[in-house]
Amino acid sequence: MTAMYSITGLLLAGGRGSRMGGHDKGLQPFQGLPLALHTLHRLQPQVDQILISANRNLAAYESLGAPVLQDAVPDFAGPLAGFLAGLNHCETEFLVTVPCDTPRFPLDLVDRLMGALQEEDADIAMPSAREEDGSLRPQPVFCLMRADLVESLGRFVMGGGRKIDAWTAQHRCVVLPFNSPEDDPQAFFNANTLAELRRLEAP
């Protein structure tokens, strides 16, 4: 599916890491590698190019082998600021975003999202995953979007908008469930603390 389209992958590592004691989340070790590198290796086969969104420890992220982008919006403005930096530097038809703290996301994530986007003629596609209570919850930081949404996102962010769902609601958005028996129930679990990261690392 994705072979028909050119896609840039954006690894989101630009947060404060507040719930991780201020540690730079993407540089924490996971299975012997920095978390961001593990995520990058998982994303790389699914896209044509990769960019990294980061706002500190830039040299460490540059050493991972992909261009590093800083937010144009100050004070750690959140994932949408990273989205915007990615879209401003995107040279492909589509951009897909993946957070650095969810290292078990599906190996066919981009292919399935692209299929849903094309089938619904949508502008944006994102997954939903099953919660502990059995409900399906959208995972908006995993976001496949058309690159021509850059002006829309720029207006939203520069106007003070910070919530992903408030922006995606302005466009044709499809949410695809990742809840088949073959899907890893931990695929979209994100590690917000060092203890959660260690639990996720355990076999």
Q: Are 95 and 148 spatial neighbours (Cβ–Cβ below 8 Å)? A: no
| Residue 202 CB neighbours (<10 A) | 5
Q: What pTM was estimated for this model as a whole?
A: 0.93
Which tokens belong to 87?
């879209």
pLDDT of amino acid 19? 56
Decide: 98 and 162 in contact? Cβ < 8 Å: no
The model's pLDDT over 64-77, given as tens digits with 9 standing for 90+, comes to 999 999 998 877 67
**Domain of residue 41, CATH code:** 3.90.550.10
Portion of the chain with pLDDT greater than 90, in percent? 75
Which tokens go with 139? 């995972």
pLDDT digits (tens, 9 = 90+) for 99-123: 999 999 999 999 999 999 999 999 9
User: 81: which 2 tokens?
Assistant: 């600021």
Confidence tier at 1 by pLDDT (50, 70, 90): very low
Given this model, what pLDDT does residue 74 score? Answer: 78
Find out whether 84 and 77 touch, Cβ atoms under 8 Å. no
DSSP string, 2-64: GGGS-EEEEEEE-S--GGGTT--GGGSEETTEEHHHHHHHHHGGG-SEEEEEESS-HHHHHTT
For residue 114 the two structure tokens come to: 């692209």
pLDDT tens digits, residue range 137-183? 999 999 999 999 999 999 999 999 999 999 999 999 999 999 999 99
Q: What's CA 93's distance to the chain center, in Å? A: 17
Q: Which residues constitute the domain of residue 56?
A: 2-201
- At 51, the pLDDT band (50, 70, 90 cuts) reads very high
Task: Kindly provide the residue ranges of all beta strands, DSSP E only, lying in 90-193, ordered along the sequence.
Answer: 94-99, 124-130, 136-138, 143-146, 173-177
What 8-state DSSP symbol labels residue 92?
Answer: S
Domain count, the chain: 1
